[in-house]
Amino acid sequence: MKLVARKLLALSAVSAMTLLAACGATGQSAAPVASGAPVETRAPNNPDQKPAHEGQTRAPGVATQGQLTHSVIASGLEHPWGLALLPDGNWLVTEKPGRLRLVTKEGQIGAPITGVPAVDAKGQGGLLDVTLSPTFAQDRLVYVSFAQPREGGNGTAVARGRLSDDNTRLENVQVIFQVAQTYDGDKHYGSALAFGPDGKLYITVGERSDKPKRPDAQNLATHHGKVIRINADGSVPEDNPFVGRQDALPQNFTYGHRNPQGIAIQPGTGAVWTIEHGTRGGDELNLIKPGNNYGWPIAGYGIEYNGDAIPDMSPTAEGTVQPVYYWDPVIAPGGMTFYQGSMFPEWEGNALIAGLAGQHLVRLVIENDRVVGEERLLSGLNTRIRNVKVGADGAVWVITDEDDGKLIRLAR
């Protein structure tokens, strides 16, 4: 661990002199990162809370060497949320009001794809994530998550359908998962999707935000505040950790989550990682393992939005798992991915995380399940970055969360 940290400090010192930030297609220069200094310089919201292990927050700053450029490929998307790379290099992009569109790699935005389920688009709800079947080349199945309108409220749901050969409609659409509880609220749907190497679909679900709903995250009889694991057809895997328990829903894989809006599979290991919104000073990066309790609302970092302490919560609690990393102040994380590609070989295996309130793209260097370096990219956009994916050529693509949402390519 110490050896890795020393290598990163040396890399940072060299990189700081050569970095050209992703401030535009011309590759303008940015302020250099001080040698090894954390990229976060603001005071923490809760200075009394200390990390449980070395490097759990404010990891050493690192900087990418060479020139980075970004280009706006498409604009005019209304609050895009999720994006999925098609085999031909084009993108499927969701818009929160309820539209799924094909956006070409050249930036042409198609008409809304028909067949998408109705959504409840109030607040944080709407059409959210999108991912492809692992066997898309054969079955052309597309999975979408959304806030499902119901009598008396709404709930997180996932549907799948076949993308027509001409990419204009979803066919034979069916809901394969929906949370068991209906709630009349407009926040914390979670809703990120990822297929693991085991072929199972992992779904993140928030605890719905309001204080009376927070305990749901610890209640295995609800789907709120959980990571869900199901088969591709919606059935329950027999090896899920809570199968057969009378006090638990069988789709639950982990619990104690607040509002996880990002999930990604780590290359090489196949491990499942999530990123979730905390309160003020409590965003978390978690390594997901079956049956684990990730703490919320009895364990976590940060304070209430109004500045008060969070009732009955401490950084640690018996039976709960610590986050691998946390941010105080927060970045308000959206989607995440792990980098695999030829364009940025030094990023191989790094986590890339979209920052909403932070208005930047986070790069995390992870070694032995610990964060040992952090970089912030695209800060010159000055807008909320909602999601991030890697293109076939190794370029990084992000979408921005705004009325005039953009698809942006980061390259070298």
**CA gyration radius for the chain?**
20
> CATH number for the 2-411 domain, one of 3.30.310.50, 1.10.260.40, 1.10.238.10, 2.120.10.30?
2.120.10.30
What is the pLDDT tens value at each position of the chain, 412 positions in all? Answer: 433 443 343 343 333 333 333 334 333 233 344 458 999 999 999 999 999 999 999 999 999 999 999 999 999 999 999 999 999 999 999 999 999 999 999 999 999 999 999 999 999 999 999 999 999 999 999 999 999 999 999 999 999 999 999 999 999 999 999 999 999 999 999 999 999 999 999 999 999 999 999 999 999 999 999 999 999 999 999 999 999 999 999 999 999 999 999 999 999 999 999 999 999 999 999 999 999 999 999 999 999 999 999 999 999 999 999 999 999 999 999 999 999 999 999 999 999 999 999 999 999 999 999 999 999 999 999 999 999 999 999 999 999 999 999 999 999 9
Domain boundaries, given as residue ranges, for the chain: 2-411
CA–CA gap between residue 149 and residue 130 (Å, rounded)? 18
Render 192-213 in DSSP notation, one character per residue: -EEE-TTSPEEEEE---SSGGG
pLDDT given at position 29: 31
Written as six digits, the tokens of 362 are 């986070």
Strand arrangement, sheet containing 325-327: 259-265, 272-277, 283-288, 325-327
Render 144-158 in DSSP notation, one character per residue: EEEEEEETTEEEEEE
SS3 39: coil
Residues noted as catalytic: 188
**What predicted TM-score, i.e. pTM, was given to this entire model?**
0.92
Rounded-to-10 torsion of CA 50, 51, 54, 56: -140
SS3 42: coil
pLDDT given at position 166: 97
CB 394 within 8 A of CB 379: no
Look at residues 122, 114, 107 and name the one whose alpha carbon lies nearest to residue 76: 107
